[in-house]
Structure 1
C-alpha cells in the first residue's frame, strides 16, 4: 500500500444476551486472509474496495450481510479510530458500529461464533488490530445510553417480561437496577406506543405468572427518558 493511501474499513460490534441473560456476547468472524489470518476478529469490510459503497451505512449493511450474516434489531455508528500502527499494512482507520441482536439469533458455519464479552475486555481472549478498543468504546456507548434510553430492550426477545427487561438493563449497565424503575419505564413506553401488552403471561417454574410485553419502537434512536435510570427514572 502506498504511503499516500489510507485503508478504510467498517467494523461491527454485534452484541447479544447470553442464554440466561447473565452477560453479553460479541459476534466474531474468523479472518480468512492476512494480516492475522485465522484469528477471531470483529466482522468488517474494506470501504469501497472490490465492492462499491455509496456510504458508510451501506458498507455497514454489507458487513452485516456478508461477514456477520445477521440482521440487528438496532444499529448505530459509534465512532472512528485511525492511526499508522493499528494495521500492519499501513495507515488505516475504522468506522465502527454497535449492533444489538435478538438473544435467539444463531450463526451458521465455523467462521462465526459468539464470544464472552468479559474475556475480550480483560484480554483473556486477544483480538487483532485495535478491535478490543472498538469493543470497549461500543460497550461504553451502550452503557451510557442505557441510562436514559430504551436501548437495552433491543437485546430482549420479541415477547418479554419485566424481569427480562430488568436483566437486560443490568447487563448493559454492569450494576443492579431498581425493578420498580423498570416497571415505570415500561408503563411510560406503553402509554407512548413503544411497548404493548400482549395479553399473555409467562408461567415460570417457580413464582407467579408474568405479564408478556412486546417492544414496538417508533423511531430508530430509541425512546428517550427525561431522567437517568439510576436516579429512579
Structure 2
C-alpha cells in the first residue's frame, strides 16, 4: 500500500440482548486474513471501488449480509474514525454503524460469535485496529439516544411486556430506570401508533399475567421524546 492511499472500510457494531435480558452482547467475526488473522473483530468490508457500493449505507448492508450474516431491526451510521496508526497497512478510516438485532437472532457460522459488550468496552476482550474504541463510541450513542427515543424497543422480540422494555432500556443505559416513567412512555407510543396492545398476555412461572405489546414503528426513524427519561442530575 503506497503512502498516498487511504484504506476505507465500513464496520458494524451489531448488538442484541443476552438471553437473560439483563445485558447486551456484540457480534464479532474471526478475521480470515492479515493483518490480525485469527483475531476476533467487528464484521466489516473494505470500500475501494472494486465492489459496486454506491453509498456507505450500501456498504453497510453488504457487511451485514456477507460478514455479519444478520438482518437488523435497526441500522444507523454513528461516526468515522481515521488516522495513520490504526491499521498496520497505512492511513485508514472506518465509518461505523450501530445495528440492533432481535434477541432471538441466531448465528450458524463458526467464525461468528456474540461477546459480552461490557467486556469489550473494558478491554477484557481485546480487538484489533481500534475496534474497542468503535464499540465504546456506539455504546455512548445508544445510551444517549435511549434517554430521548424509542431506540431500545428495536432490541425486543416481536411481542414484549413492560418488564421486557424496562430490561432493554436498563441494558442500554447501564443503570436502573423508573418503571412508572417508562410505562408513561409506552402509553404515549401506543397513543401515536408506535406500540400496539396485542390483547394477549403471557403467564410467567411466578407472578401475575403480563400484557403483551408489539412495536409498530411509523417510518424509518425512531420516535423522539421531548424530555429525558432520567431526572436532571441522575
Same fold (TM over 0.5): yes
State the SS of the aligned residue for 1:213. Answer: strand
Where does residue 208 of structure 1 map in the other structure?
Answer: 208
State the SS of the aligned residue for 2:230. Answer: helix
Structure 1 residue 221, shift from structure 2 partner: 2.2
TM-score relative to the length of structure 2: 0.97
Where does residue 24 of structure 1 map in the other structure?
Answer: 24
**CA distance in structure 2 between the partners assigned to 1:34 and 1:49 by the alignment:** 21
**CA distance in structure 2 between the partners assigned to 1:187 and 1:231 by the alignment:** 19
TM-score relative to the length of structure 1: 0.98
Where does residue 121 of structure 1 map in the other structure?
Answer: 121
**CA distance in structure 2 between the partners assigned to 1:105 and 1:213 by the alignment:** 20
State the SS of the aligned residue for 2:132. Answer: helix
Uncovered stretches (5+) of structure 2, i.e. residues with no partner: none
State the SS of the aligned residue for 1:168. Answer: helix
- CA deviation string 1:22-59 (max 9, x = no partner): 11000001000000000000000001354221010000
Where does residue 56 of structure 2 map in the other structure?
Answer: 56
- CA deviation string 1:138-165 (max 9, x = no partner): 0000000000000000001100000000
How well do the aligned residues superpose, as a CA RMSD in angstroms?
A: 1.0
Segments ≥4 residues shifted beyond 2 Å: none
1:157 aligns with 2:157: yes
State the SS of the aligned residue for 2:143. Answer: helix
Where does residue 173 of structure 1 map in the other structure?
Answer: 173
State the SS of the aligned residue for 1:89. Answer: coil
Structure 1 residue 119, shift from structure 2 partner: 1.1
**CA distance in structure 1 between the partners assigned to 2:56 and 2:223 by the alignment:** 25
State the SS of the aligned residue for 1:140. Answer: helix
Structure 1 residue 68, shift from structure 2 partner: 0.3
